[in-house]
Structure formats: C-alpha cells, structure tokens
Amino acid sequence: MKVTGSESEGSGYLPMNTQSETRPSAHEPERKATSHTAVLDPDRRKDTGLKSGLITKEDALRMAYYSGVTFHGHAALASLRLGDEIVFYEVALDGRIYRALARPVSGQSPRVARHDQQYELARAWAPGLRSDGLMLAPPAAIPNTPRALVQEIQEITGLPVDDIVERAYSILNYRRHNGAKYPETMEPKGYSFRELLLMSVDESGNLKTLYETPAGVSPEKWTNFLRILDRQEREPLRQYAVSGMAIAEYGESGAAAIRAALVLRDGHLRASPPASYLPFTERFPLADHQKLERTVGGSRR
C-alpha cells in the first residue's frame, strides 16, 4: 500500500503497515494534537501526538491514581475505570474484548499512599464483557485517534484492516455515552468502527476515516460538520447535505463526503427535502463560548 496522507487533519488516507513512521521518536518530540484532530478521549488531547495519534507511556501513566473530582461524596461523572485500572480502549472483535490499561504494579505495599502508587501499561483480552481474561504483551504507547486505534488492533490480532473495520466495535465509546454501563451485546448498534469512526477501506486497501478532513475542505468547516453529525437528531443535516448550499460551502467533494458520512453513520441518506439556502453556521450556530473541537462520537459521557 502506498502512503497518500499523514497528519490526522489531512486527506484521510494512510496505510496500516507503516508503524515505524507513525510511532513517536525518542529523539524528536512530536507535535501535539490540535482542536481539529479527532481524538477518542478529549481529556488527553494535549498528550496525543499529531501524526502518530499516540499517547506516550509517560503521559498515559501520569496521575493514573486519580479517580476524578467528587462533589458531596458523589462522582461528578460515572467512572469508566475498572477498579484500580484506567481503561484506554475497549474493543470487541470476533467474540473477544481487547483492552489497554494502566494498572498498579504488583507487589506494592497495601500501605503505600494512593498518589505514590506505581502504575504500568498493560494489554488484555477476555471472552466476554465482564469476564476475566489473559494478559498480552504491554503496549509501548496508547492510541487516541481512530487511525491509531485500528493500527493497535491490527498489531494485536494480525487481522487485515478491512476485517477490523467491518467487525470491531468500540465498547468504551458506548460506555462513554451510556453512563459507563456495558451493553448487552458485544456488537452494539452504532458502535462498529465503520459506523462510529466513519471508516471504510478503498480499492487499494487504504484505510479512510471521515473523522479526518477531506481534501479541499477547511479543518474548521469539517470540525463544525462533525459536531452536528454527532448529535442525535440529524434530519436538518440530511436536508442540508442534499441542498445546493452544501456544494457552495464545502465544494463538490466536500458535499459528497458529508453524504458519505451520513450513510456510514445511519446506513442510508434517506429521502429528505433540500434545505433552504441558509449557510451552515446560521443553520447550526455555535453556542456562546462553545469551543470547536473534534471528538469522536461527541463529548457525551
């Protein structure tokens, strides 16, 4: 496969067999993700490499003991932790769930202060969502972008990219959107890599994700589009997608990418009447002081 893209704000194409090119270098600090980089965990955006999509071991383990802010004894947000372990991803694939974790190093004294505990990175797989499993070789870094996550799962399973896109499900994203609860199935609707991560594989075998900016579209415009796509009510967006304004503002290729993203997310575009000739920013205005950032699936938790 040939390289036809690089940074996550780029054209959306990068082969999955270039691991040495995308892993961070110990000698050259990597530029960090921007607000227009699609990240899986928005709280770790500033720790995520722009090109690799990875979080270094040191950044991933920083404050691993921290359980979150509490108010009057209640967690501010439902915890995604598994006991003492931080979960970086949970991916279900072919009857197994794969996880990357930060866990306390074994053998520490039970009297050691929580903030003095030593943590390590780990990988594991289990035959069920709530089942014990087996440890795998630990990761050198943690993925925090759609492309980096696919590369991670390919490294673990050895499966072709198209199999991963078709059959993998992001369980952690489901939990983020459903109060940290697990689904009843390992294949929850809407959380396959194809649907959630807006992924496909082209005829040359290259991975494409529409969470990356299509060629010819400004990153700001595409981030704004993704903000609306990740809302639950998308009928006004479908009407915009088939209107002349979509072509006028996003260009022919950008409007086609909008329609493709809606098909990947909903399974079809549906027959919608074209919207009136109203600019995107007027039809979908930003709330006062709302920051425009690209987060996979939105920032719901």
Query: Can you give 136-152 as a three-state secondary structure string?
Result: ECCCCEEECCHHHHHHH
Asked whether residue 298 is domain-assigned, the answer is no
Residue 49 CB-half CA count within 13 A: 24
Asked whether residue 293 is domain-assigned, the answer is no
Asked whether residue 43 is domain-assigned, the answer is yes
Asked whether residue 182 is domain-assigned, the answer is yes
Residue 7 has pLDDT above 70, yes or no: no
Residue 24 has pLDDT above 60, yes or no: no
Same domain, 247 and 198: no
Residue 72 has pLDDT above 70, yes or no: no
Same domain, 139 and 271: no
Least confidently predicted of 34-38, 117-121, 146-150, 181-185 = 117-121
Determine the Cα–Cα distance for residues 26 and 140; give it in Å rounded to an integer: 12
Each residue of 141-162: pLDDT tens digit? Answer: 999 999 999 999 999 999 999 9
Residue 14 has pLDDT above 50, yes or no: no
CB neighbourhood size of 265 (10 A) = 17
Q: What is the pLDDT of residue 116?
A: 63
Residue 1 has pLDDT above 80, yes or no: no
- Mean predicted lDDT score pLDDT of the chain: 85
CA 11 to chain centre: 17
Residue 112 has pLDDT above 80, yes or no: no
Same domain, 201 and 219: no
Q: What is the pLDDT of residue 84?
A: 83
Same domain, 60 and 131: yes
Residue 8 has pLDDT above 50, yes or no: no
Domain boundary among 207, 232, 264: 207
Q: What is the pLDDT of residue 64?
A: 75
Domain boundary among 207, 235, 263: 207
Each residue of 216-252: pLDDT tens digit? Answer: 999 999 999 999 999 867 889 988 998 889 999 999 9
Q: What is the pLDDT of residue 287?
A: 83
Least confidently predicted of 159-168, 169-178, 260-269 = 260-269
The token duo for 217 is 């579209």
Same domain, 169 and 218: no
Domain boundary among 207, 229, 246: 207
Same domain, 243 and 116: no
* Residues 299, 290 contacting (CB under 8 angstroms): no
Listed residue (212, 200, 178, 163) closest to 300, CA to CA? 178
Q: What is the pLDDT of residue 299?
A: 60
Asked whether residue 292 is domain-assigned, the answer is no
Same domain, 124 and 251: no
Same domain, 183 and 237: no
Q: What is the pLDDT of residue 12?
A: 38
Asked whether residue 301 is domain-assigned, the answer is no
The domain total for the chain is 2
Q: Which domain holds residue 258?
A: 213-283
Each residue of 50-60: pLDDT tens digit? Answer: 999 999 999 99
Asked whether residue 296 is domain-assigned, the answer is no
Burial of 119 (0-12, 13-18, 19+ CB in 10 A): buried
Asked whether residue 291 is domain-assigned, the answer is no
